[in-house]
Amino acid sequence: MASTLGLRPVGEHERQLAPDLARGIMLALIAVANSAIYLYGRPYGIRQHIVEHDPLDRVTAALTMTFVDARAYPMFAALFGYGMVQIWKRRRDDGQGRRVLKRRSLWLLAFGAVHGTLLFSGDVLGMYGLIGLVVCRLLRVRDRTLLILAAAWLVPVALSSALAFNTPQGSAERVFFWSFAVPDPLTALALRPVEWVMTPFGMMGVLTATLVGVWAGRRELLTRPDEVVRRAAVWGPLAGLLGGLPLGLAAGGFLVVDEPVALMALNAVHVVTGIAGGLGYAALIGLLAQRIGARRGPVVTALSACGQRSMTCYLLQSVMFVALLSPSTAGLGGWLGSAATAALALGVWAVTVVTADAMRRAGVRGPAETLLRRLSYPRG
């Protein structure tokens, strides 16, 4: 029987700071992005964000669209690919290592199906599970081929984004994610599986980010940043800013885009540059982690603990958002504006950070991560 010692999960003290810190920080952006989807009961504009009139809400909508929308999930996807390589490197034989990654991806798909059906149909876990199965086939591919595939995939990403988000502006009805505005919980429950299946078509860009993450993981660029990382930390966020600003201004009502072809082009640019922005965010945090080194204070330690339990914290965010924002519960999504919702989202994220740090102090792993490990790794 093949030895599985090299397939054990990473211990608490063996983990690298950069990926965990990046996940912990970026969960704040995930919270802001996801919370905006829960707003309902008003006309919908760019990418189904509600149309705002209050000056503070308009500015918040513009900033969210420019710096967060289509930028947070690609960064997480890059970290997902990076993490797959770390698991692959700890294998004792190729067959067992690939088997663990396949099993892990299939269980992520199952976790995503449950999460998407019961809580949040914009779930990303299932998408990462699908991508994980693809990456298992590409672990032996040469670096150059990997990057060519990542670049080539941007073409269908741009086309799908142009078509999927070219929706009427100021519409009173949702074009997708209908369940978030449905007051009847049973009707919403019936809609969520359909929405969950549709979600990957609006998030195709995460495959490119994952492939780049695999390439970076082979070089351990987050823990040993080089000139490529330094350049990415500058040019990635800048590309994300320039590509996201037009739709950001439109979401805030500072720019009117009526021409369908122009809107399609802006959506394509927004999503493609969002991948660059997400990768740039990861590079920035990698450089920050290098500067911090072993001098971790309580804030960095708490953020890292959140990153170590990122799936648990991600699911906990959904639980709190459903309780606070859904029309079948507290219903705050029906009257909160973008500014108040962003503040609430950051508050929810802060609660997850504190919870994760309490788990760290108690020596407890995240329950979602523990379950995934037990299902993914062979016994013994």
Q: Is 180 exposed, middle or buried (0-12, 13-18, 19+ CB in 10 A)?
A: buried
Instruction: Name 305's Cβ contacts closer than 8 Å, sequence gap at least 6.
Output: 20, 24, 353, 356, 357, 359, 360
Question: Strand, coil or helix: what is 322?
Answer: helix
The confidence band for 5, taking pLDDT boundaries of 50, 70 and 90, is very low
pLDDT for res 14: 61
User: What is the Rg, in whole angstroms, of the alpha carbon atoms belonging to the chain?
Assistant: 20
**Phi, psi (rounded to 5 degrees) for 68:** -120, -50
pLDDT in tens, 316-346: 999 999 999 999 999 999 999 999 999 999 9
Q: What is the mean pLDDT of the chain?
A: 91
Q: What is the pLDDT of residue 316?
A: 98
Whether residue 274 has pLDDT greater than 60: yes
Write down the pLDDT at residue 12: 55
Residue bearing the bigger pLDDT, 294 or 115: 115
Would you state the pLDDT for residue 275? 97
Per-domain boundaries in the chain: 5-376
CB atoms within 10 A of CB 207: 25
Q: How far apart are CA 247 and CA 265, in angstroms?
A: 10
SS3 273: helix
Mean pLDDT on 27-50: 94
Q: Which residue has the tokens 């996940």?
A: 23
Q: Mind listing the pLDDT tens digit for each residue in 213-271?
A: 999 999 989 888 889 999 999 999 999 999 999 999 999 999 998 888 999 999 999 99
Would you state the pLDDT for residue 379? 67
Percent of the chain with pLDDT over 70: 94
pLDDT reading at 2 higher than 50: no
Residues in the chain: 380
Q: What is the mean pLDDT of residues 150-156?
A: 97
pLDDT bin (cut points 50, 70, 90) of residue 175 is confident
DSSP secondary structure letter of residue 27: H
Q: How confident is the model at residue 208 (pLDDT cuts 50, 70, 90)?
A: very high
- The pair of structure tokens assigned to 374 is 């037990």
Residues 161-165, mean pLDDT to the nearest whole number: 88
Q: Please determine, for residue 128, whether its predicted confidence score (pLDDT) is greater than 60.
A: yes
- Mean pLDDT over 352-371 rounds to 97
- Cα–Cα distance between 52 and 36 in angstroms, integer? 12
> For residue range 59-99, what is the model confidence (pLDDT) as tens digits?
999 999 999 999 999 999 999 999 999 888 876 555 577 88
Residue 380: which pLDDT band, with cuts at 50, 70 and 90?
low
